[in-house]
Amino acid sequence: MKLNPRILFTILAIAAGLTLSSTRVGAQAQPLSTLPPPIVKHEKPLKFDGQVIAANSATITVRSKENAMLTQTFTYTPDVRDQMIKILNKGGYQFGDKVVIHYTPGTATAVKLQGKPSKPRTFSSPNTSQK
């Protein structure tokens, strides 16, 4: 099958047009600013009130007090991580413990934990001695 010269020329013209139209425009130089950087206002931490589902040294997962279907997992700031390690060494938060987590808006990073951990649950094995 031979290609018609008109079709071949049309295909080559389209390919050349696409190749030339896809070239990138060089970056434009922007003038340097002598103004000081803008001051970022620190927002107040938000509160999340709920019950602990699971907690470890890296994260805490909490179910909302108002909406049982809403759960959220938070990481810690370094100060809160140190506090959490101390709590975990004493037994840690148990399932159902009530906590209030203060976190920065727009993130899931806890900046403060409030709530008393309950006593760790211990499970004893059934008595194996037989009479």
Domain count for the chain = 1
pLDDT, tens only, 70-117: 999 999 999 999 999 999 999 999 999 999 999 999 899 999 999 999
Which residue did the predictor score with more confidence, 127 or 109? 109
The answer to whether residue 21 is domain-embedded is: no
Reference 55, options 119, 111, 131, 117; nearest CA is 117
pLDDT, tens only, 46-67: 999 999 999 999 999 999 999 9
The answer to whether residue 83 is domain-embedded is: yes
Which CATH number do you get for residue 97?
2.40.50.140
The answer to whether residue 119 is domain-embedded is: no
The answer to whether residue 33 is domain-embedded is: no
pTM value is 0.61
The answer to whether residue 10 is domain-embedded is: no
